[in-house]
Amino acid sequence: MSFNKKIAGFLILLLITAFFLSGCQYFGLDEASTEDSPSDSADTNNSPDKDKAPEVSSAFPSDNETGVATNTVIIVEFNKAMDTSTVTTNTEDANCSGTVQVSAISFISCVQMASDPSANANKEIFTLTPKSNLVAETTYQIKVTNGVMDLLGNNLQKEFITNQGFTAETETDTTAPTVESRTPADQAVGAAKARSKGEARPKIGLKANFFRFSLV
């Protein structure tokens, strides 16, 4: 009987030890899982943004805007940070190259830019400066191709083009006026002398001729 009690006690001790060891392992794993949870949460939070394609939030000058200065800049804003190496434009000639283009004739040819687009600190707003002033009273469209990408490698889902475009202002005539001619001409001979104020006007004489008729 005493022997059986010893065996039973030994078995109980083994069960307690096994339970204790499994409990430590469980809590250890749970702690590691808890430590990893913030990064997992961060990945979860970032996953929607990672799969979301960038969009053009706005363009300046805005669509259908009139009276735009001929020396205006072009501004394109995205809804998220972009890979600046993918936001390009044509700087060599008037060919429509690059991912951001400005054209007055349906992108058969494009406005040549002075330099590559410049980005703000957040890499969301890009500014382009035309090499020469735009043509007055001309309508221009802005295009952003789906070649642009965000920092996660997502392309613009749909090409962006302003529908109506913007119109450059009417060119102001800044030429100073000049006198083309005057009468009487300078140093003209026989020109009438100017009369001083109060000088009597010459009298014009009228002579009437009377005809007499007689009966024979």
- Pair of tokens at residue 30: 């749970």
3-state helix, strand, coil split of the chain in percent (to 5) is 25, 20, 60
Calpha distance 159→26 (Å, rounded): 53
Calpha distance 138→172 (Å, rounded): 14
Position 213 pLDDT exceeds 80: no
- Segments making up each domain of the chain, as ranges: 1-51, 53-171
Calpha distance 197→42 (Å, rounded): 97
Calpha distance 130→122 (Å, rounded): 23
The model's confidence at residue 15, banded by pLDDT at 50, 70 and 90, is: confident
Higher pLDDT, 199 or 135: 135
Q: Residues 175-203: pLDDT tens digits?
A: 777 777 777 766 666 655 555 555 555 55
Q: Residues 31-90: pLDDT tens digits?
A: 444 444 444 444 444 555 667 999 999 999 999 999 999 999 999 999 999 999 999 999
Please give the backbone phi and psi of residue 200, each rounded to the nearest 5 degrees, phi first. -65, 135
Mean pLDDT, the chain, integer: 80
Contacts (Cβ under 8 Å, ≥6 apart) of 156:
53, 54, 55, 56, 144, 145, 146, 147, 148, 149
Q: Which CATH architecture describes the domain 53-171?
A: Sandwich (2.60)
pLDDT at residue number 44: 40
| Mean pLDDT to the nearest integer, 130-146 | 97
Q: Residues 25-47: pLDDT tens digits?
A: 544 544 444 444 444 444 444 55
Instruction: Convert 164-208 into a string of H (helix), E (strand) and C (coil).
Output: CCEEECCCCCCCCCCCCCCCCCCCCCCCCCCCCCCCCCCCCCCCC
pLDDT at residue number 209: 53
- Pair of tokens at residue 172: 């102001």
pLDDT at residue number 65: 97
The model's confidence at residue 147, banded by pLDDT at 50, 70 and 90, is: very high
- Pair of tokens at residue 144: 């952003």
